[in-house]
Amino acid sequence: MFRPYDMHMHTDFSTDSETPMEDMAEAAVRKGLRGIAITDHYHPDYPNPVHRTGQPTPAYHRAMERLAEAYEGRLEVFKGIEMGVLPGETMARCEAAARDYHYDFILASFHSTRERTFDDLARDKRVTTEQAFRMYYEHVLMCITLFKDYDVLAHLNLLDRYAPYVPADSLYTDVVDEILKTAVADGKGLELNTSSWRYGMGDRTTPTAAILRRYRELGGEFVTVGSDAHSAKWVGDHLNEGYQFLREQGWDYCVVYRQRKPCFVKL
Ligand SMILES: [Zn+2]
Ligand SMILES: [Zn+2]
């Protein structure tokens, strides 16, 4: 039987989760997973100060090492982080954080500009939804043109979840294309974030079939699958749907990252 890897989850080292790391690992073992990546937030300049603090801290690194040791032979634990990348001094902080510790896996994510979250922007009546989508993707492109210390782009079409509706893809495919070309040229991967099934987003999978197809056409090879669970209940959630979806899109492999290197896993 295929035993899945869940490559994206949060613990009480993130401000938006209250679940101890051990509880996430226990749930993963109970659900028959082969491995999990702990990817707590590092959001040094998030607009809301409540969520601004974050990993990495020595305590976080020690906790992941203890977990990996405690579960050796039962569950592979990948030491990861989800970085909220922003331009300017934030980028330097993210670069320093990436070098500071031997992570297995670094997710780059784009939840906000320095001033506001994209969640907020998507609902702002003064900006059209179309404008919000372009602003978001242009922000991602600007960031990854400069920032290279990551492995995988997390939930690339995040705005699909927040916006009141999703405008026609054609309004921003030019920017998405540049993002994908940059990612491929840099040897970076995409994340299939299975929360789109949890949120009932139907065809708007994260990313969409069209984005995955284009990534592959451009020579992209690396796709991780992760639940983005913030509590034990959601560990491993909809992973099988995710793998099935990948197979339907013609992928034979997904990847996991060990010491920042992509390792293929046959689906
Ligand atoms: Zn995220
Ligand atoms: Zn996350």
Interval 209-238 mean pLDDT: 98
User: What distance in angstroms lies between residue 109's CA and the mean position of ligand 2's atoms?
Assistant: 8
pLDDT score, position 234:
98
Ligand nearest to the CA of 155: 1
User: What distance in angstroms lies between residue 8's CA and the mean position of ligand 2's atoms?
Assistant: 6
Q: How confident is the model at residue 114 (pLDDT cuts 50, 70, 90)?
A: confident
* CATH architecture type of domain 5-266: Alpha-Beta Barrel (3.20)
Residue 5: name the closest of 180, 242, 251 by CA.
242
User: What distance in angstroms lies between residue 196's CA and the mean position of ligand 2's atoms?
Assistant: 13
DSSP assigned state of 115: S
User: What distance in angstroms lies between residue 251's CA and the mean position of ligand 1's atoms?
Assistant: 24
Query: How far is 124 from 84, CA to CA, in rounded Å?
Result: 21
Task: Give 160-179 pLDDT, tens digit per residue.
Answer: 999 999 999 999 999 999 99
CA distances from 63 to 74, 110, 174, 206 (A): 17, 26, 42, 29
Query: How far is 240 from 256, CA to CA, in rounded Å?
Result: 16
Query: How far is 45 from 65, CA to CA, in rounded Å?
Result: 26
Asked whether residue 1 carries a pLDDT value surpassing 70, the answer given is no
- Peptide bond just before 262 cis, omega within 30 deg: no
Ligand nearest to the CA of 14: 2
Q: How confident is the model at residue 140 (pLDDT cuts 50, 70, 90)?
A: very high
State the amino acid at position 50 in one-letter form.
V
pLDDT score, position 44:
87
Q: How confident is the model at residue 130 (pLDDT cuts 50, 70, 90)?
A: very high
pLDDT score, position 227:
98
pLDDT score, position 47:
85
Ligand nearest to the CA of 206: 1
User: What distance in angstroms lies between residue 217's CA and the mean position of ligand 2's atoms?
Assistant: 27
State the amino acid at position 153 in one-letter form.
L
User: What distance in angstroms lies between residue 195's CA and the mean position of ligand 2's atoms?
Assistant: 10
Q: Which residue ranges make up each domain of the chain?
A: 5-266
Q: Who contacts 228 (Cβ-Cβ below 8 Å, separation ≥6)? A: 8, 9, 10, 154, 155, 193, 194, 195, 234
pLDDT score, position 55:
66
% of residues, the chain, pLDDT over 70: 99
Interval 4-14 mean pLDDT: 97
Ligand nearest to the CA of 161: 1
Ligand nearest to the CA of 230: 2
User: What distance in angstroms lies between residue 162's CA and the mean position of ligand 1's atoms?
Assistant: 12
Task: Give 37-58 pLDDT, tens digit per residue.
Answer: 999 999 988 888 877 766 678 9
Tell me what percent of the chain is helix, strand and coil, each rounded to the nearest 5.
Answer: 40, 20, 40
